[in-house]
Structures are given as C-alpha cells and as structure tokens.
Amino acid sequence: MGLAMSYLRVPPVLEGERDPGAIARLIFGTADWRRRQPAPQVLDLGGGWQALHYLITGDPWDGRPPEADVVCGGRLLTEDGTAELGLDVIYLAPDRVKPAADHLVATPYAKAAERYDPAAMAAAGVQEAEALGNDAAALRPAYEGLTRFFQGAATDGQAVYKVMSEPS
C-alpha cells in the first residue's frame, strides 16, 4: 500500500504565527489533527492523489504551475525542520492557491480524464493505477472535491497544507 494525501486549508497567519513550518508543527504535531479541524477545511484523497496529479499534469510527479501545484507543487516543509512530525508536509502559499483553483475551474473533469490511460499510468509508476482499472469516472468525485476545496481556499485567502502519510 502506498502513501495517502490529505489537504488542510489554513489562514496565512495562525495564532499570530506567519512561518509555515511553525504553523505545520502547531497543527500536525498531534495524531488527531484531522478531528481538530472543521470538516470543510480538510480533504482526504487517500491513495488516488498521484493518479489525479497525472490527470492534471500528464506526469506522475512533475509539471508546471499552476496545474502541478494542485497535488505535488509547493514547498516541502519536512526539509525546513518539521521532520519530527513523522509525515511529509507540503505548503502552498495563498498566492499560488488562486491560480491552481482557477486552473481546476477552467479544466472540467472530462478534459482532465482524456489523459486517463491505466496502462500508461502503470508504466509511469503511478500509485494505484492498476487498482483503478478502466473506470476513468472513479476519480471524478476526488477531482470535483479538489476543485471545490481550492475554490474555497482561494476565496478565503487561505494557504493549503498537503500531508503525505501512511494510510490510516
């Protein structure tokens, strides 16, 4: 089983703190961080995150902003002293959230799903590609959830924190 990805919308300043690494330690320093957040602020993609990145960018890991910012883009905070959290945290600043949200809104799922090719995805090493099978519609709810999530974060001027961890 691979890694799972969760998202959290957070104001750019939390409890007077502006440093994304310090904010990450405040939020993700306890195992029950999800339960302590309002439900609309959290989005869990589970193991389908890399397949979504592939549909959005055409690549399992890379791509150009703003489309790559939706899943894999941002600043890896683990390298900035948050390694003690036991999970990888990626920070996407509010000024990058809005272009990512605009990209998702401008790209309906049907357009992104044109890249859906389980064989090509498996050959590229996309996690869960084989489990998804030939059903391109399987990722539609997650894509639409990402779109709503990013729209909400952009509207509220929030940053997005992405957490990579072992599935719970």
pLDDT tens per residue, the chain (168 residues)? 588 999 999 999 998 999 999 999 999 988 889 999 999 999 999 999 999 999 999 999 999 999 999 999 999 997 666 667 778 999 999 999 999 999 999 999 999 999 999 999 999 999 988 888 888 999 999 999 999 999 999 999 999 999 998 876
Using a 10 angstrom Cβ sphere, with 0-12 exposed, 13-18 middle and 19 or more buried, the burial of residue 164 is middle
For the chain, the residue count is: 168
pLDDT for position 48: 92
Q: Confirm if 28 and 58 have CB atoms less than 8 A apart.
A: no
Pairing label, strands 88-92, 75-76: antiparallel
Q: Confirm if 81 and 96 have CB atoms less than 8 A apart.
A: no
Q: Which of 29, 43, 95, 106 is nearest to 71 (CA)?
A: 43
> pTM of the full predicted structure?
0.93
Dist. CA 11–CA 23, nearest whole Å: 10
Domains assigned to the chain: 4-165 (3.40.1760.10)
Q: Confirm if 92 and 69 have CB atoms less than 8 A apart.
A: yes
Q: Which of 88, 91, 70, 79 is nearest to 19 (CA)?
A: 91
Query: Which stretches of the chain are DSSP H helices?
Result: 20-28, 49-57, 94-106, 109-112, 118-123, 129-132, 140-155
Angle at 12 between CA 98 and CA 143, to 5 degrees: 40
